[in-house]
């Protein structure tokens, strides 16, 4: 059985809106509800822990009723960073395995969650090839990176709960910062296999207004037509 830790603590500064992006309407429905709708029928996911600011717990509860979400939902307080928010959610997980996802990635299909769950390895992430050239440096070129050795990391990701929790606790105690959880786990457990499975190009993270425009197109072309 799995628990889904759903990160919904972002404040959406780059969107320039009065509410965080994950509660904005996408295809006429709050972004976070797209995620919860897709996992609502997945039996292997026992419950969802939404990591958010306390002020959004009541509005989310109202949305759950409005959109017919029956999956049990609990809450954890968002931290002052993504990493702190993940740890806050992980500390409430009681199942042996956990899936980490974020409300700003609404374009994951139910069958794609099932593909992740059914993968035989305990620790699995999704990712896609990088289709452009990447160099290291800002004002000056510092070094070259080999494109075919790199992966654009996506979510959702699944882990053994105790292993990823222990790694997060170590990172917190040592004051180390990571931008996502597979790299954090690899840093503290380089001997543990972390499987990469093929992600989807439409599984974008919505961060900016341009992303919202692209997201509406993705929803119309791929998701609305499935209904």
Q: What is the DSSP letter of 204?
A: -
Per-residue pLDDT at 227: 47
For position 54, what pLDDT does the model report?
94
Count of domains observed in the chain: 1
Domain interval for residue 136: 2-226
Please check whether residue 11 is in contact with residue 85, taking contact to mean a CB–CB distance below 8 angstroms.
no
Cβ atoms of 155 and 196 within 8 Å: the answer is no
Question: Counting every residue, how long is the chain?
Answer: 227
CATH label of the domain that carries residue 146? 3.90.550.10
Q: What is the pLDDT along the chain (227 residues), one digit of tens a residue?
A: 999 999 998 765 555 566 788 899 999 999 999 999 999 999 999 999 999 999 999 999 999 999 999 999 999 999 999 999 999 999 999 999 999 999 999 999 999 999 999 999 999 999 999 988 888 898 899 998 888 889 999 999 999 999 999 999 999 999 999 999 999 999 999 889 999 999 999 999 999 999 999 999 999 998 876 54
3 state DSSP class of 17? coil
Q: Please answer whether residues 81 and 10 qualify as being in contact, where contact means their C-beta atoms are separated by less than 8 angstroms.
A: no
Quote the pLDDT of residue 12.
Answer: 58
One DSSP character per residue, 106-153 reads: ----HHHHHHHHHSSSSSEEEEEE--S--EEESSSEEEE--GGG-EEE
pTM score, two decimals?
A: 0.93
């Amino acid at each position: 059985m799995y628990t889904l830790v759903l990160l919904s603590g972002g404040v959406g500064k780059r969107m320039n809106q009065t509410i965080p992006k994950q509660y904005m309407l996408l295809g006429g429905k709050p972004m976070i509800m797209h995620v919860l709708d897709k996992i609502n029928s997945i039996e292997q996911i026992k419950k969802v822990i939404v990591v958010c600011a306390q002020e959004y717990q009541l509005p989310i509860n109202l949305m759950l009723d409005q959109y017919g979400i029956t999956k049990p939902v609990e809450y954890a307080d968002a931290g002052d960073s993504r990493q702190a928010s993940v740890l806050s959610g992980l500390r409430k997980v009681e199942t042996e395995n956990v899936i980490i996802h974020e409300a700003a990635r609404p374009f994951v299909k139910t069958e794609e969650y099932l593909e992740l769950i059914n993968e035989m390895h305990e620790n699995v992430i999704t990712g896609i090839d990088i289709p452009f050239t990447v160099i290291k440096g800002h004002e000056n070129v510092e070094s070259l990176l080999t494109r075919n050795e790199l992966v654009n990391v996506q979510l959702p990701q699944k882990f053994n709960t105790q292993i990823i929790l222990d790694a997060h606790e170590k990172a917190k105690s040592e004051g180390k910062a990571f931008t996502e959880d597979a790299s954090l786990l690899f840093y503290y457990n380089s001997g543990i296999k972390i499987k990469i499975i093929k992600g989807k190009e439409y599984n974008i993270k919505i961060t900016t207004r341009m992303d919202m425009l692209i997201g509406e197109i993705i929803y119309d072309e791929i998701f609305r037509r499935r209904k």
